[in-house]
């Protein structure tokens, strides 16, 4: 005897494996890290964003319209860095399966690489007292965008177990639409917005009060995200060992 269509759909929804709490926390921490990077990028470097390419394309258009060569260069650096970071991750993760219960090893590897890149940038920023010269600033701008490109591509490669962390416009629109339509908007999406604001605020405060340390919050936040994302991997290994 077959189940009615409505019941079959309900069973499919119930059987869908959703990301665990640790992965949701990891996403929130990654969003906060991107907010911290954006503060340093926009307020401390070249007045462009490291991970929001829609805004950078608009800034590029405005710079071209006003004939501002410096602003054009800054936008192009951010766009190219983000593109390179995304392309590298896409190349190495193409065709890979993305489980819904944990982030694959290649995603974790690239998040670790992003953390190392941000740590190097934070060290360079600190050694210059938060006031790098023009050449160093350009390198840091490219590196920050590169890191955000890596992070954005990692979240795509992680599939349903992840969510966007470098841009939240679509997330906000989806949250409002689904919240109004279903009446069950959930809590993790608002926490991402809070994380973005908190991450950006932390680096903004440091830029004003202790400029040499302003690039450090992004490193701490992404390391926290990696630790949180390792929890389901550790649990999976324990279950495998117990079954064996």
Residue 12: predicted pLDDT: 39
Residue 5: predicted pLDDT: 43
Residue 242: predicted pLDDT: 64
Q: What is the 3-state secondary structure (H, E, C) of 82-126?
A: HHHHHHHHHHHHCCCCCCCCCCCHHHHHHHHHHHHHHHHHHHHHH
Distance (Å, rounded) from C-alpha 10 to C-alpha 241? 33
Residue 176: predicted pLDDT: 85
Residue 238: predicted pLDDT: 66
Residue 109: predicted pLDDT: 96
Specify burial of residue 120 (Cβ count, 10 A radius: 0-12, 13-18, 19+).
middle
Along the chain (244 residues), what's the average pLDDT of each consecutive run of 10 residues? 41 49 96 98 94 93 87 92 97 85 93 98 97 95 98 95 92 82 74 97 98 98 97 71 62
Residue 6: predicted pLDDT: 42
């Amino acid at each position: 005897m077959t189940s009615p269509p409505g019941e079959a759909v309900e069973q499919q929804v119930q059987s869908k494996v959703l990301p665990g709490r640790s992965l949701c926390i990891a996403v929130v921490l990654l969003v906060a890290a991107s907010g911290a990077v954006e503060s340093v990028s926009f307020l401390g470097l070249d007045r462009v964003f490291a991970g929001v390419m829609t805004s950078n394309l608009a800034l590029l258009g405005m710079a071209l319209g006003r004939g501002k060569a410096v602003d054009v260069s800054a936008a192009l650096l951010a766009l190219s860095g983000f593109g390179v970071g995304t392309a590298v991750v896409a190349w190495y993760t193409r065709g890979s399966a993305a489980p819904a219960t944990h982030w694959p090893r290649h995603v974790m590897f690239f998040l670790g690489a992003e953390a190392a890149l941000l740590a190097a940038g934070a060290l360079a920023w600190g050694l210059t007292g938060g006031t790098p010269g023009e050449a160093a600033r350009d390198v840091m701008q490219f590196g920050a965008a590169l890191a955000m490109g890596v992070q954005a591509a990692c979240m795509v490669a992680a599939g349903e177990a992840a969510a966007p962390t470098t841009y939240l416009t679509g997330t906000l629109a989806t949250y409002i639409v689904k919240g109004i339509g279903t009446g069950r908007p959930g809590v993790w999406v608002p926490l991402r917005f809070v994380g973005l604001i908190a991450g950006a605020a932390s680096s903004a405060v440091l830029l004003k009060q202790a400029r040499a340390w302003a690039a450090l919050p992004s490193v701490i936040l992404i390391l926290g995200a990696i630790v949180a994302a390792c929890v389901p991997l550790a649990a999976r290994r324990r279950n495998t060992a117990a079954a064996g």
